[in-house]
Amino acid sequence: MNYYYGKSQFNSLRRAQEKYYLLTNQRGGYSSLSISGSASRNEQVLLMASVKAPNHWVQFISNMEEIVTVEEKERSLLSQEFVGYTKNAEGFRYQDSFEMADFPTYRYRVFGVELEKRVVMKHEENLLLLSYSMANRSANPVKIRLKPWFRFTKKGDMPLQGQTLEMKEGYMSSNGYSLRYKT
């Protein structure tokens, strides 16, 4: 079944947080965010790994922030409602659509740049793939930075104050958990 949500569903962050996707890896891990790309519930994250089935989950990656820069103008595509509502991230304002066919697909348009992001989860592994494609219609150089929001906590827990992240070639670890990665 295919679902498509256009610009009219993104007239407010609250409205865009009413619907969300859920991808599972068939071993207890999952990816779930709203159609605006935000986490509107504590258990919504980009990568929730099942480190020991059936119910030992670790929130590894809360979200991925894409930052588009054209001619020294910069915009974040991250959407997130924060406690107190004072500094919400409103990347949904640049979002053209969200589509759920085989995989969640987000489409953005900012500064004449069209960016498409797909989220794919590998079957029976705690492995997530983000695939990006871009069309530059601005005739200017474009820079896209990816900023992962790491968490490394048990499901439902908040990050610890002073928690550090250690990176070694191909691995990241924090709080007793490790994550293998490829670039």
Average pLDDT taken over every residue of the chain: 88
Q: Please, which residues bridge with residue 6 across strands?
A: none
**DSSP character string of 110-179:** ETTEEEEEEEEE-TTSS-EEEEEEEEE-SSS-EEEEEEEEEEEEETTPPPPTT---EEETTEEEETTEEE
The tens digit of pLDDT for each residue in 19-32 reads: 999 999 998 899 99
The tens digit of pLDDT for each residue in 46-60 reads: 999 888 777 788 888
Residue 183: the pLDDT is 59
Residue 181: the pLDDT is 67
Query: What pTM did the predictor assign?
Result: 0.88
Higher pLDDT, 153 or 141: 141
Q: Record the tokens describing residue 127, joined without a space.
A: 């492995």
